[in-house]
Amino acid sequence: MSEFYHKPSTNIACDSGENQFSAATQAFLDFAKKENVDLLFAQLRINNMVVDDYMTHPLKTRLNVFTVSEGFVAVAAGIAIDEGLIKMEERLCDSFPEYISEQTSEYLLAVTVHDLLTMTTGLAHPLFICDDEERYTVKDWVRYFFEAEFVRMPGIEFVHSNFNTYMLSCLIEKKAGVNLLEYLRDRLFEPIGIGNPDWLTCPKGHIMGANGLYLTVEEMGRFGQLIRYGGELNGHRIVSESFIKSAITKQVKTGVASNNGINGGYGYHFWISNVPNCVMLKGRFGQCIVISLDKDAIFTFQALEGYKYQAMFDKAVEIIQLI
């Protein structure tokens, strides 16, 4: 496979026509051009080295990674477990007694950290996400979750909701006594090269969790590399290997009928692809980290594509196999 990554990292504009990308990256760029999608940045790392850098801007700029940030909250949970702040089987409600009333659903009372990580909290609906109307009007998002409809025992059925991630983040914040950005600043972000991180807060000051983390394509790649190396990067042990191993192993069926390479199941906030040993994080409008464990390859991209971004996720899983 070495023939594909002899090219050193380059910062070349999309339309210069002079760039030489590896076959895998070139296949993705050809696809993007053919489909006319609004791709902004793409990067391929192999063996912890950047081998391809595709840029439509003179500098890498931080962009909203949307739900790619779920992966960061999962690692935060792993760190918090390592430190003894939270336990996998502990109940969420035990830490939020002020939100419990006689009306609280018995299903919700049973929700554990594990259920939050696997998106099996028993929620009837995903609740609101980033561009929904309520996102601009609801002030207390914790209360909103506690008043939501839970229709089955947790741990059974996968329903992807930003609120599961948000509540996991709120739980860690409560135990740590700082917001999730501060908790992760020197435990995760700075050690892997994400300096002065930017993550938005909800109206009450909690980190949004499932949205609002701003990263460059390179920073996404570093995080992917951390996952590939089982929670250790460049000599820093960030989170225990056993946690990462579980996080990227199928924990639950997603039941998502799709052809976009992600219906291999779901781990702890990581999507498991149909390709063996290939997992991904993905966000709205085309934000993606694909990690191939076998090839030690990380392919990341950022886009602002309104309609065809699912096909971009498909393609990313496909091209990483070319390495």
Partner 1 sequence: MSQVFQDFLDEVKAEGIMLKYAQLRQGGEVVAEFSTMPTKTRLNSFSLCKSVVGIAAGIAIDEGLIKLDDKVCDIFPEYVRNTTSPNLLKVTIRHLLTMTSGLDSTLYFCDWPERYYVRDWIQYFFNVNFPHEPGTVHVYSNFCTYMVTCCIERKAGMNLVEYLRYRLFEPIGIGNPDWTLCPMGHVISANGLHITIDEIGYFGELVLREGNWKGRQLVSAEYVREATKAQVDTSKFIRQLEAAGFNPDIFKYGYGYQFWRTPVPNTAMCSGNYGQVCVIAPDKDAVFSYQAMAGYKLIRLMEIGGLALKEL
- Of 277 and 307, CB closest to partner 1: 307
By CB under 8 A, the residues from 19 to 48 that bind partner 1 are 38, 40
> Closest distance between partner 1 and the C-beta of residue 199, in Å?
8
What is the C-alpha to C-alpha distance for residues 310 and 307, in angstroms, rounded to an integer? 8
Nearest Cα residue to 266 out of 153, 125, 168, 158: 158
Q: In this chain, which of 59, 84, 97, 257 binds partner 1, going by CB under 8 A?
A: 59
Strand partners, 45: 50, 298
Nearest Cα residue to 160 out of 255, 88, 289: 255
> Closest distance between partner 1 and the C-beta of residue 126, in Å?
15
Residues 291/269, Cβ–Cβ less than 8 Å: no
> Closest distance between partner 1 and the C-beta of residue 268, in Å?
27
What is the C-alpha to C-alpha distance for residues 309 and 316, in angstroms, rounded to an integer? 11
> Closest distance between partner 1 and the C-beta of residue 304, in Å?
6
Q: In this chain, which of 34, 195, 235, 257 binds partner 1, going by CB under 8 A?
A: 195
**Contact mark string toward partner 1, 251..270, x via CB under 8 A:** --------------------
SS3 state of residue 78: helix
Q: Collect all residues with Cβ–Cβ distance below 8 Å to 173 and sequence separation of at least 6.
A: 179, 180, 183, 206, 207
- The H or E element that residue 80 is part of is helix 70-82
> Closest distance between partner 1 and the C-beta of residue 240, in Å?
27
What is the C-alpha to C-alpha distance for residues 243 and 230, in angstroms, rounded to an integer? 8
Say which residue the tokens 């460059």 belong to: 216
Using CB under 8 A as the binding rule, whether residue 212 contacts partner 1 is answered as yes
> Closest distance between partner 1 and the C-beta of residue 38, in Å?
6
Give the binding-site size for partner 1 (rule: CB under 8 A): 37
Residues 283/258, Cβ–Cβ less than 8 Å: no
What is the C-alpha to C-alpha distance for residues 251 and 192, in angstroms, rounded to an integer? 27
Q: In this chain, which of 30, 131, 149, 294 binds partner 1, going by CB under 8 A?
A: 131
**Contact mark string toward partner 1, 66..105, x via CB under 8 A:** ----------------------------------------
> Closest distance between partner 1 and the C-beta of residue 59, in Å?
4
- Of 66 and 268, CB closest to partner 1: 66
Q: Collect all residues with Cβ–Cβ distance below 8 Å to 190 and sequence separation of at least 6.
A: none
Q: In this chain, which of 198, 259, 274, 277 binds partner 1, going by CB under 8 A?
A: 198
Q: Collect all residues with Cβ–Cβ distance below 8 Å to 204 and sequence separation of at least 6.
A: 139, 140, 141, 142
> Closest distance between partner 1 and the C-beta of residue 144, in Å?
12
- The H or E element that residue 287 is part of is strand 287-292
- Of 7 and 135, CB closest to partner 1: 135
Residues 1/295, Cβ–Cβ less than 8 Å: yes
Q: In this chain, which of 108, 127, 202, 247 binds partner 1, going by CB under 8 A?
A: 202
Using CB under 8 A as the binding rule, whether residue 130 contacts partner 1 is answered as yes
Question: Which spans of this chain sit near partner 1 (rule: CB under 8 A)?
Answer: 13-15, 38, 40, 55-64, 130-131, 135-139, 185, 195-196, 198-200, 202-203, 212, 214, 284-285, 304, 306-307
